Amino acid sequence: MISKQEFIEKLRNSSLRPTKQRINICEVLFNRDKTFHFTINDLFNLIKDKTGEKVSLATVYNTVHAFHKKGYLKEIPINSNQTYFDTNVTDHHHFFDVKEEKLIDLKNEDVGPIEIQKSIPGKKIKSVEVLVKLED
Amino acid sequence: MISKQEFIEKLRNSSLRPTKQRINICEVLFNRDKTFHFTINDLFNLIKDKTGEKVSLATVYNTVHAFHKKGYLKEIPINSNQTYFDTNVTDHHHFFDVKEEKLIDLKNEDVGPIEIQKSIPGKKIKSVEVLVKLED
DNA sequence: TCGTTGTTTATAATTATTCTAAAGAAGATT
DNA sequence: AATCTTCTTTAGAATAATTATAAACAACGA
């Protein structure tokens, strides 16, 4: 069990006041053992299920975006109708099971170092992400 | 200059009848030296500009999707409001300039071999794609 | 040429996301 | 604790990409 203080700290760091709704969002996002891949809609539904309280969709969007901006959530680059996020913000990659629309973590050592041998003048590398699509 | 016959062949292979509109789409997509990264909207506008003839948006969507399904176009996994496609369907990767929303090809040898050391039972790898985000 | 089947098109429908503005809650000040 | 200011929540409207619809039209084969 993670303390509510940690959620409040995350919220404050993201310039958000700790409200009941946002604490509920944190509960669903961060109170877990394993990494969590989700869409806004997944999260929206889980909040109702897990906390028994409804939070408006707009608040879910706003809070997720603030956490993403602050670096507490990572956006997963994948073409889907919905945007996927990940609570694991460390450097890592993904499998995407196209049929089941499911994401699976790939540890960095499962992929090995990736050397980018090309550079663009005036630009620096912000992130390197590998997406491995899976089929049956 | 690529012959119209090639376009017709691509269309037939994709189970599409060669109509005037579809030939125009092919003209914009495939009659070029370099690889072409685009959104449906880019393409829609370019058709008007380059051929002088308007093709309905629905037809652009349908044709692009048929080509994608057949493997004549590649979808680029990136989170954006619009879906990006690529006429270069060979195995390769991308830079994405986040600020300018621009894609740049990365040759396979610019990245080097990527070894995926993990497997999921019952699933096989369909594709491995690297996205390198660039910032200033 | 005729009949069948596939295609184009404008427009409506759908869906994810963002915006808005009014009512409510948090935080600071006394 | 009362008050004031600022931020937040919310339902619903607005936006934007994509998909569906169905009537007019074009390709193809006989």
Question: The domain spanning residue B21 has which CATH number?
Answer: 1.10.10.10
pLDDT of residue A29: 98
pLDDT of residue A94: 96
The answer to whether the Cβ–Cβ distance between A112 and B111 falls below 8 Å is no
On the question of pLDDT at B72 being above 70, the answer is yes
On the question of pLDDT at A85 being above 90, the answer is yes
d(C-alpha B93, C-alpha B105), whole Å: 6
pLDDT of residue A62: 98
Based on the fold, state whether residues B102 and B72 are members of the same structural domain.
Answer: no
pLDDT of residue B98: 87
The answer to whether the Cβ–Cβ distance between A126 and B104 falls below 8 Å is no
Mean pLDDT of A110-124: 92
Based on the fold, state whether residues A73 and A122 are members of the same structural domain.
Answer: no
On the question of pLDDT at B63 being above 80, the answer is yes
Based on the fold, state whether residues A110 and A69 are members of the same structural domain.
Answer: no
Give the three-class secondary structure for B62. Answer: helix
Based on the fold, state whether residues B62 and B38 are members of the same structural domain.
Answer: yes
On the question of pLDDT at A99 being above 90, the answer is no
d(C-alpha B41, C-alpha A94), whole Å: 29
Based on the fold, state whether residues B100 and B46 are members of the same structural domain.
Answer: no
pLDDT band, very low/low/confident/very high, at A136 (cuts 50, 70, 90): confident
Share above pLDDT 90 across residues of chain B, in percent, rounded to a whole number: 84
Mean pLDDT of A80-85: 95
The 3-state secondary structure of chain A, one letter per residue: CCCHHHHHHHHHHCCCCCCHHHHHHHHHHHCCCCCCEEEHHHHHHHHHHHHCCCCCHHHHHHHHHHHHHHCCCEEECCCCCCCEEECCCCCCEEEEECCCCEEEEECHHHHCCCCCCCCCCCCEEEEEEEEEEEEC
User: Chain A, 105-124: which CBs lie within 7 Å of strand D?
Assistant: none
pLDDT of residue A1: 66
Q: What is Dmax (Cα atoms) for chain B? A: 52
Based on the fold, state whether residues B57 and B20 are members of the same structural domain.
Answer: yes
Mean pLDDT of A121-125: 94
Based on the fold, state whether residues A50 and A72 are members of the same structural domain.
Answer: yes
Q: What is the DSSP string of B2-43?
A: --HHHHHHHHHHTT----HHHHHHHHHHHS-SS--EEEHHHH
Number of domains, chain B? 2
Asked if B115 and A107 count as a contact pair (C-beta separation under 8 A), the reply is no
pLDDT of residue B1: 66
pLDDT band, very low/low/confident/very high, at A98 (cuts 50, 70, 90): confident
CA distance B110 to chain A (A): 5
On the question of pLDDT at B50 being above 80, the answer is yes
Based on the fold, state whether residues A47 and A9 are members of the same structural domain.
Answer: yes
pLDDT band, very low/low/confident/very high, at B93 (cuts 50, 70, 90): very high
Q: Tell me how many degrees the CA angle A29-A35-A37 measures, rounded to the nearest 5.
A: 70
Based on the fold, state whether residues B71 and B106 are members of the same structural domain.
Answer: no
pLDDT of residue B125: 94
Domain containing residue A56: 4-84
What pLDDT digit, counting tens, does each position of A5-55 carry?
999 999 999 999 999 999 999 999 999 999 999 999 999 999 999 999 999
pLDDT of residue B53: 95
B121/A contact by beta carbon, under 8 A: no
Which one of B76, B111, B116 has the shortest CB-CB distance to A132?
Answer: B116
Based on the fold, state whether residues B53 and B8 are members of the same structural domain.
Answer: yes
Based on the fold, state whether residues A19 and A65 are members of the same structural domain.
Answer: yes
Based on the fold, state whether residues A26 and A55 are members of the same structural domain.
Answer: yes
B126/A contact by beta carbon, under 8 A: yes
